[in-house]
Structure 1
Amino acid sequence: MTHERELSIGVDVGGTNTDAVVLDQDGTVLAATKQPTTADVVGGIRAGVARVLDEIDDRRHAVKRVMLGTTHATNAIVARRSLARVAVVRLGAPSGTEWPPLSDWPDDLSHHVLAGSAMLGGGHMLDGTPIMPLDRYGLLRFLDSIEGRFDAVAVTGVFSPSYPDQEREVDAIIRDHIGPDARIFLSQDIGPTGLIERENATVLNAALHRVAHDVTHALLAVVEEQGLDAVTFFAQNDGTLMSLDFAENFPVLTIGSGPANSIRGAAYLSGAQDAIVVDVGGTTSDLGVVVNGFPRESTLPREIGGVQTNFRMPDILSVGIGGGTIVDVASGRVGPGSVGYRIDREGLLFGGSIPTLTDAAALNSSPIPGRSLPTVDGRTRDALAASLAFVADRLEAAVEQLSLGRMDLPLVVVGGGGFLVPDELSIATEVIRPAHAGVANAVGAAISLAGGRAEHIADIEDREAAIEAASEAAIAKAIQAGADPLKVEVVEVLETPISYTTHPAVNVSVKAAGPLSRLGTTMPALP
């Protein structure tokens, strides 16, 4: 690859702003912008990409990759919009029938998504013994009973991540019965071992397949409009990337990619491989942890749109502190309300009448070039000054909670409201404010590796074989996501003992990652 083919664009879609950057082969930021996020998401992406391309002017032909982190899937779930109708198949009867599919979903979401469900004979015990033979005829009867009323099928088997054969057989039966182009999603590809949460994630993924198609092709349209000869990637929720085809098949993996991008970008811009990161926005501050350059992942189930899932998400702590957070002069209370995107007309610094934390920061020196705090009465000034002490205390407590008692980690500050963070905190070794901190999330998208994850359960005496099997599967998924086959490697191995088993057993989770393949094809033609 020549120097002229080594520019990358990173885009991150947030609730308020869509950030875009251009990076060269050395990771230097050549152009950056913030554009308002639009209701259809695509408008903000289009504006951001166009602006940074204008800044690099005659080097636009050198852009070879476009990476996107988007809230499109999350918004579709929360708004109950554009979701597909899903036929849900669970393999685990008779033991896995106590809690029917989607029982814990909000009624309105279940109504939008569920086309019908069947709990069929199948699934496995912990040691791989089948619970029951696969009920093939029951599967066919179920499909015929809801013919024409579903768009996709979600299949979940008990312990299928370790014993995947039954799910794969169901896939083959369905394609033979209703056609090779059937949209079928297997839980072994989506989430870890826990049955209900994995099933929930698989059904959400199936429900999002039309949304994924729309946003992936919208990105292709933007790239085509700009005349770019570039390969496109999407950010995953673990701080890695996936190819466009992979994203279209696994849209649920994009949920949570925003915080992951911020953490990856903060680590890259600061050079800190182990640190606490705080991303300060207009309404909240999101704190996370960098471990060996990647976001530390939460071990707790994650709720999305009222649905509990167990796929990997960054360990994020959100506190109600942002540039638009309202300071109530009468009570002295700080937040939780915020003027949000209206700060440019409602905050004191902009000629409005509502005191905010941005105004508090302006007591010392204005964080907004060309703006100064108007004269305020003594009571308002005292309330603003007290709010800064409150911010310091809240951030100190949040950093302590995430650090798990460690006192040797720096705090990396990113986001547009980073001026609210004090220059010193007793719980952090230092406070780092890297260049381009305001667009760290887009930088994180642009510099990420392609990744994959796999799990395997085995008796403790078969631990090494389980690690090897999970490693091979994780590497294969990373390559499928777009990693260079010659450079992908295992970056994390987690072993969790399993309780209440007749023999000691362990659950092995492996993450693999690698640089993006340079052999990727250029943008495919739009249909």
Structure 2
Amino acid sequence: MRLGVDVGRVTTVAVLVGPDGRTVARAVVDSVPGLGECLRSVLAALPGDRTGEVDAVGLTTDLERRPSRLRRVAALRIAPPSHPSLGPLAGWPAQAAREVGPLHAVVPGGSALTGRQLARLDRGAVAEFARRAAEDGVTAFSVAAAGALTRPDPEVAAAEVIAEAVPGAEITLSHELGRAGLRERENTAVINAALRPWAARVSHTAERALRAGGLRAPLFLARNTGGLVSTVYFRRYPVLAIASTTASAVRGAALAAGADRALVVDAGAAEFRCASVTDGEVERSDVGPGLGGVDLDLARIRTELLARVDLVRTGAEQVADLVARVRRRTPGGVLLAAGGDSGLVPVGAPDPAAAIAAAAYGAACSEIVAEVDQVAVAGGSGELERLLGLARDQALARVVAAGAAPDTARIAFAAHTPVSYLPEGVHRLRVRAAGSLGNPGMTRSRRT
């Protein structure tokens, strides 16, 4: 049995889901200050005592999406020199830049996306930067190299130098998180490094609250684009799970309805968001502002947004317009509602109880998910298939590291596309792997 919990700004919802995908029990309480208090309160409100039957807990929350302060980070870029307006942290909002701090450097090295080396890594400059950071009391590092999605070696080598110069350093490598754009990928690595103490606090708080409620099952955190990761993985890569509630709600509503193609309106406390689901996957968008207004190079779900303050006409008319914009991209999808104000969604026979529990249900029923996004240079179809095979292997390794049972890990999606603005033979490889949390009997098509 799985327990899914959605800790929102207004309410906290918990659902117990059986192996057949049916909801066994549900509880809704008012959210209060503090993640731990919310969890203890909703666990106490669950009817019956079935905690001993829970084998996994999936958590999604927007209650503590912004830590009180970002940690200071030493940001290292490996690339040719650039204009200061394009340097590390350039264009960041003032508050985020102040919190992360001014310690950053650019050292020679890196490659073009074609794999051509731009310069040899200046290991001495890396060691000097690492020592300077340590003297300033900074032990969190981010490393971003030009062309790292084609040749990650410079980032790996720089990490080895930093670890030797600063024992105990925490290092985030950009090629493990972002995509082709250097600056946005670098931003993603810096934010990830800055969030690690916050992620440790959130996960430890949640685990303590669950233990206090009698639960001994492992905790998993929902990803930004759907799916789950273990707490260990979340503490290492928190930036992958800082905005998960809407994705969980959209996927949860579709799963509960048994719909592979759907439009879901998530009626949240501050805004309505509409997103589409095709073949069980939420539609995605590209780079955009993330935590603190910083542009991040992360996949995110694509939504149409309606702020509550914009409900100047009757709510149903406004929401209908919202749905129409998404329906143009996903014709034929069934319309579903999620969130606490589902009555404003123009959908036949809505179930308010199931709608408010959609995000918790999505967290309970999700699998472990991990992704690989790389650029590869292949001289022919045989070499391309070999490189895609390596990307598949890497995705499978990542999904196991994220908490999937090894014998259940599988490739859910794999694609390669030529990079149009680069010479022939340069391809973008995208692979997504999924795996079970250890409860393979959970199905995707039963109603709550």
TM-score by length of 1: 0.78
Task: Report the equivalent of 1:487.
Answer: 408
Q: How does 1:262-301 map to 2 (within 5 A)?
A: 262-301=249-288
Post-superposition Cα deviations, 1:201-251, rounded to whole Å, max 9, x if no partner, equal 111111111101111111121122123221111111121100110011111
What is the CA RMSD across the aligned residues, in angstroms? 2.2
Task: Report the equivalent of 1:46.
Answer: 40
Equivalent in 379, 383, 393 of residue 472 of structure 1: 393
Name the amino acid aligned to 1:416. G
Aligned-partner Cα distance in 2 for 1:405–1:221: 43
Task: Report the equivalent of 1:15.
Answer: 9
1:56 is paired with a residue whose SS is: coil
Name the amino acid aligned to 2:370. G
- The structural deviation recorded for 1:184 is 0.8
After superposition, the Cα gap between the structure-2 partners of 1:72 and 1:406, relative to the gap in structure 1 and judged at 3 Å, is closer
Is structure 2 residue 423 aligned with structure 1 residue 502?
yes
Task: Report the equivalent of 1:441.
Answer: 359
- The structural deviation recorded for 1:304 is 2.7
After superposition, the Cα gap between the structure-2 partners of 1:311 and 1:136, relative to the gap in structure 1 and judged at 3 Å, is same
Aligned-partner Cα distance in 2 for 1:497–1:119: 30
Aligned-partner Cα distance in 2 for 1:411–1:157: 44
Aligned-partner Cα distance in 2 for 1:423–1:185: 45
- Structure 2: gaps spanning 5 or more residues: 441-448
- The structural deviation recorded for 1:96 is 8.7
Task: Report the equivalent of 2:343.
Answer: 419
Aligned-partner Cα distance in 1 for 2:220–2:54: 13
Aligned-partner Cα distance in 2 for 1:318–1:30: 33
Q: How does 1:24-423 map to 2 (within 5 A)?
A: 24-52=18-46, 55-57=47-49, 59-71=50-62, 74-76=65-67, 81-94=68-81, 99-146=86-133, 147-179=135-167, 181-321=168-308, 335=311, 387-388=313-314, 391-423=315-347
Name the amino acid aligned to 2:337. V
Task: Report the equivalent of 2:443.
Answer: none
Post-superposition Cα deviations, 1:275-327, rounded to whole Å, max 9, x if no partner, equal 11111234421111112112111134343321011211111222135xxx6xx
Aligned-partner Cα distance in 2 for 1:496–1:197: 21
Name the amino acid aligned to 1:190. L
Post-superposition Cα deviations, 1:364-409, rounded to whole Å, max 9, x if no partner, equal xxxxxxxxxxxxxxxxxxxxxxx44xx3443333223223354311
Name the amino acid aligned to 1:116. L
Aligned-partner Cα distance in 2 for 1:70–1:496: 35
Q: Are the aligned partners of 1:84 and 1:151 in contact in 2 as well (CA < 8 Å)?
A: no
Aligned-partner Cα distance in 2 for 1:174–1:72: 35
1:208 is paired with a residue whose SS is: helix
TM-score by length of 2: 0.91
1:111 is paired with a residue whose SS is: helix
Aligned-partner Cα distance in 1 for 2:189–2:10: 29
Aligned-partner Cα distance in 1 for 2:289–2:132: 33
Task: Report the equivalent of 2:369.
Answer: 451
1:286 is paired with a residue whose SS is: strand
Q: Percent identity?
A: 31
Name the amino acid aligned to 2:58. M
Task: Report the equivalent of 2:433.
Answer: 512
After superposition, the Cα gap between the structure-2 partners of 1:72 and 1:132, relative to the gap in structure 1 and judged at 3 Å, is farther
| Higher relative contact order, chain-length normalized (CA < 8 Å, sep 6+) | 2
Q: Are the aligned partners of 1:205 and 1:250 in contact in 2 as well (CA < 8 Å)?
A: yes
After superposition, the Cα gap between the structure-2 partners of 1:227 and 1:406, relative to the gap in structure 1 and judged at 3 Å, is closer
Name the amino acid aligned to 1:153. F
Aligned-partner Cα distance in 1 for 2:245–2:347: 25
- Structure 1: gaps spanning 5 or more residues: 1-6, 326-333, 337-386, 425-430, 520-527
